[in-house]
Structure 1
Amino acid sequence: MHDAELCQLAVNSMIRTILFLSTSSGPGGAERVISNLAASLDPRRYRAILCLFRPGWLKERSESCGIRTFVLPTQGMTDWRWAIQFKRLLRQEQVDVIHAHEFDANVQGACVAALSGIPLVATVHGKNYYWERLRRRLAYRWVSRRATMVAVSEDLKQFIVEKVGIPTSRVKVLYNGVDVLPQCTPAEVVECRKELGLPEDHQIVGVVGNLYPVKGHQYLIEAIPAVLKTCPNTSFVFAGRGQLESELKAQACRLGVDERVHFLGLRQDIPRILAMLDLFVLPSLSEGLSMAILEAMISGKPVVATQVGGNPELVINEETGFLVPPRDSQALGDKLIVSLTNTQQSADFAERGKRRAEGLFSLRSMVSSYQSLYDQCLKSEG
């Protein structure tokens, strides 16, 4: 069936078209949320399509899930040519709701949505830099009056209210959700260790995240020498790519721990990597609501994370894991040692964390919440 016929079928059967508009093409947590949400909408009620400013991981991931994807390059908020193209796309695809993600998409999407009379949901995934300049704060205040604004954690909502000056009543909180990850057999875990050259008798500590300054990897590496003094049979894996890779490798070399630190680059087999870990760590300096932590929790892994952003809303300190101050390598190292040496406590944390993720942060719960929000937007427009 041709796209035009699918579009007309959607209209005739009252299936609503939701267009997802993303600032970034990833890979990253927000991008995984977008692709998972778009692919999981009830097909009896919604048709999902995606529009990006540039091609990349998110385009490939979404198209592999059968989501029709468009790429409209933009020169920024004043790019009127993009606005004309985007408005044409909305009309061509008979879009009912725009769901934009992050600053540029939220602002540019809101401008065209206002001109087109289409409701817009604007999701904010992180603190980033949009609040630092008056022009950007004013832009987000404008968006909040013309869109349904969503923050992915209570901490992020409070930040938006305080730093941007948006009334609390205009910001909803909808948590990210994660699906149950594919299970790996013990044989697959052993094979993964062999592929990565990890000793069979080592405990494995891992972090998943792009190698950017905000992820705080340097503080984890700084903590490794102290950890190895108490737990010498430990290896560390870093799954992700980014601008700091060479710098982090040099730091590990200077500290004499480079043989215990393994940089894996961008991985397409994160469930396999998580299955191999004894302990998951996230030393971030800022977070919205971490998909990496959620995936570790639902995989049944104990977590040590920094007490930033929405992390305390995921990890209950000393109940489902440990929280430590950001930029504190000593505190981070101390909790890594406790987790590695007290295996029964870590197993208890992991079990409680898994139940918490399955109960409060499931993909099904997130999809249901957003579908209800789309319905509210459509009802208010009607």
Structure 2
Amino acid sequence: MKILHIITGLGDGGAEAVLYRLCTHDDPSRHHVISMIDGGKYGPLLQGAGVRVTCLGMSRGWISLRGLWQLHRLIRQHKPDAMQTWMYHGDLVGGVVGRLAGCTNVFWNIRHTDLVPGATGRSTRLVARIGALLSPFVPTGIVACAERARTVHIEMGYDCRKLTVIHNGYDVTRFQPDMQARATLRQEFGVSPDTILIGLVGRWNAQKDHPNLLSAFSRLACERKNIALLLIGAGCTLENAELAAQVERHGLSSRVIFAGRRSDIPAVMNALDIHVLSSSSEAFPNVVAEAMACGTPCVVTDVGDAAFIVGETGWVVPPADPICLARALDQALEERQDQETWQARRFAARRRIVEIFSLERMIEAYHQLWKSSASPKEGSAGE
């Protein structure tokens, strides 16, 4: 099969990472990726792996007639067996143009759960609503990356007959326990071997709710002197005046490490003792599965499919509740004092990702979807 992917952009995001893994761990020659904006982070990486990438050069938030015509022409030239579009704007533009260009096998991909005003832009919410109206007519099938996302979008009006869940898959040979990487990175950050390192891998964004984590961590820091907090992601730097002010306000300047954007996430996950997801909204948070694959237990807020990912291997708390988050972190720190129990938890966390969220399962689920009939059955693939 020849698969044509349409995505808004190829920057550093969860959907882009999943698209990269899907194309490069399948036969790269069968995939062609069209970015409506530019190559971003993943464009060169995809090309380096043998995947054809075309960038239309549209401006973010602005759809040009020239770009639409170029997309229409590329689809007619490529004549794909199936089109897989990604995220709301890619779904709407790619889906409609794909149909007009004669492609009858168009599959949308939804990466959001709750569309919260303030955390989700107005244009994104509008495009999502338009997608609901068009869902009975444009896509052959619709992929949701999480059970929660599927439920929410059915409530929004998306065609329930077409919605299928395919969970993200992970390269467990890349994300795995690595004591050497742990020691090297902790040395780089100036973290002593006896310091317990708690971390959040996530860009500075309202939905990641860094204030929730800082408030919870400040409660622990009063009682525990051997803990430190590592913040990794775009915007998690001292140059971020708002974040730095919040850290200072909690009296945590000497306990928080600002790491900013990193490309060595497997090493980061190994350096941590506990990974925290403090978000107010998510769909299928990749960082939780990546941490678990490295044998790092997680404390997560009950958003999207986070609770499903951790299963019995971690702690789940309500979102926007720093008291509950602090209590769960304290429970994890207490358990960590029993090395045998903690090692069993670490092993269980990795085993859950290996058994349920492998790349092979995800790729096979997409293959089954692309080969499916024009009216996919309701249900969940890849479980």
Whether TM exceeds 0.5 here: the answer is: yes
Paired residues, what number? Answer: 360
Which amino acid in the other structure matches residue 51 of structure 2?
Answer: I
Answer with 336-345 or 149-158: which moved more. Answer: 336-345
How far, CA to CA, are the matches of 1:347 and 1:243 in structure 2? Answer: 30
SS in 2 for 1:236: strand
User: 2:300·2:316 contact (CA, 8 Å) conserved in 1?
Assistant: yes
- Structure 2 partner of 1:68: 52
SS in 2 for 1:238: strand
Give yes or no for the alignment of 1:235 onto 2:228.
yes
Give yes or no for the alignment of 1:157 onto 2:150.
yes
SS in 2 for 1:258: coil
How far, CA to CA, are the matches of 1:144 and 1:346 in structure 2? Answer: 49
Answer with 225-234 or 201-210: which moved more. Answer: 225-234
Compared with structure 1, are the counterparts of its residues 283 and 310 closer, same or farther at alpha carbon in structure 2 (3 Å cutoff)?
A: same
Answer with 153-162 or 59-68: which moved more. Answer: 59-68
- Structure 2 partner of 1:90: 75
Q: 2:3 aligns with which of 9, 18, 41?
A: 18
SS in 2 for 1:100: strand
How far, CA to CA, are the matches of 2:236 and 2:269 in structure 1? Answer: 23
Q: 2:249 aligns with which of 251, 254, 275?
A: 254
- Structure 2 partner of 1:175: 167
> C-alpha offsets along residues 161-207 of structure 1, whole Å, 9 cap, x if unaligned?
11x21232221111111111255643332221111121222011111
- Structure 1 partner of 2:358: 362
Residue 354 of structure 1: how far off its partner (Å): 1.6
SS in 2 for 1:54: coil
- Structure 1 partner of 2:379: none
- Structure 1 partner of 2:372: 376
Q: 1:286 aligns with which of 278, 281, 290?
A: 281
User: 2:209·2:278 contact (CA, 8 Å) conserved in 1?
Assistant: yes
Q: 1:327 aligns with which of 316, 320, 323?
A: 320
User: 1:238·1:265 contact (CA, 8 Å) conserved in 2?
Assistant: yes
Over the aligned positions, Cα root-mean-square deviation in angstroms equals 2.3
Give yes or no for the alignment of 1:215 onto 2:201.
no
Higher helix share: 1
Residue 42 of structure 1: how far off its partner (Å): 3.6
Give yes or no for the alignment of 1:196 onto 2:189.
yes
Compared with structure 1, are the counterparts of its residues 282 and 310 closer, same or farther at alpha carbon in structure 2 (3 Å cutoff)?
A: same
Residue 274 of structure 1: how far off its partner (Å): 0.7
Which amino acid in the other structure matches residue 67 of structure 1?
Answer: V
How far, CA to CA, are the matches of 1:167 and 1:131 in structure 2? Answer: 21
How far, CA to CA, are the matches of 2:179 and 2:288 in structure 1? Answer: 22
User: 1:107·1:140 contact (CA, 8 Å) conserved in 2?
Assistant: no
Which amino acid in the other structure matches residue 227 of structure 1?
Answer: L
How far, CA to CA, are the matches of 2:229 and 2:258 in structure 1? Answer: 9
Give yes or no for the alignment of 1:311 onto 2:306.
yes
SS in 2 for 1:359: helix
Compared with structure 1, are the counterparts of its residues 182 and 248 closer, same or farther at alpha carbon in structure 2 (3 Å cutoff)?
A: same
- Structure 1 partner of 2:110: 124
User: 2:178·2:267 contact (CA, 8 Å) conserved in 1?
Assistant: no
- Structure 1 partner of 2:12: 27
Q: Structure 2: where are the runs of 5+ without partners?
A: 377-383
Q: Structure 1: where are the runs of 5+ without partners?
A: 1-15
Compared with structure 1, are the counterparts of its residues 351 and 37 closer, same or farther at alpha carbon in structure 2 (3 Å cutoff)?
A: same
Compared with structure 1, are the counterparts of its residues 61 and 311 closer, same or farther at alpha carbon in structure 2 (3 Å cutoff)?
A: same
How far, CA to CA, are the matches of 1:335 and 1:309 in structure 2? Answer: 19
Residue 91 of structure 1: how far off its partner (Å): 2.8
SS in 2 for 1:169: coil
> C-alpha offsets along residues 71-125 of structure 1, whole Å, 9 cap, x if unaligned?
1133668643222100111233332221111010000001111112212111101
Which amino acid in the other structure matches residue 171 of structure 2?
Answer: D
Residue 24 of structure 1: how far off its partner (Å): 3.3
Answer with 66-75 or 238-247: which moved more. Answer: 238-247
SS in 2 for 1:305: strand
How far, CA to CA, are the matches of 1:197 and 1:243 in structure 2? Answer: 17
- Structure 2 partner of 1:9: none
SS in 1 for 2:167: coil
SS in 2 for 1:285: coil
User: 1:285·1:306 contact (CA, 8 Å) conserved in 2?
Assistant: yes
How far, CA to CA, are the matches of 1:135 and 1:32 in structure 2? Answer: 22
Residue 154 of structure 1: how far off its partner (Å): 1.1
User: 1:303·1:350 contact (CA, 8 Å) conserved in 2?
Assistant: no
Answer with 262-271 or 88-97: which moved more. Answer: 88-97
- Structure 1 partner of 2:32: 49
SS in 2 for 1:108: helix
> C-alpha offsets along residues 208-232 of structure 1, whole Å, 9 cap, x if unaligned?
1111110111111111221123321
SS in 1 for 2:303: coil
How far, CA to CA, are the matches of 1:186 and 1:22 in structure 2? Answer: 37
User: 1:298·1:357 contact (CA, 8 Å) conserved in 2?
Assistant: yes
> C-alpha offsets along residues 119-172 of structure 1, whole Å, 9 cap, x if unaligned?
21111011344798667413333144221111111111010011x212322211
Identity of aligned residues (%): 29
Give yes or no for the alignment of 1:142 onto 2:152.
no
User: 1:230·1:337 contact (CA, 8 Å) conserved in 2?
Assistant: no
Give TM-score, length-normalised by structure 2. Answer: 0.87
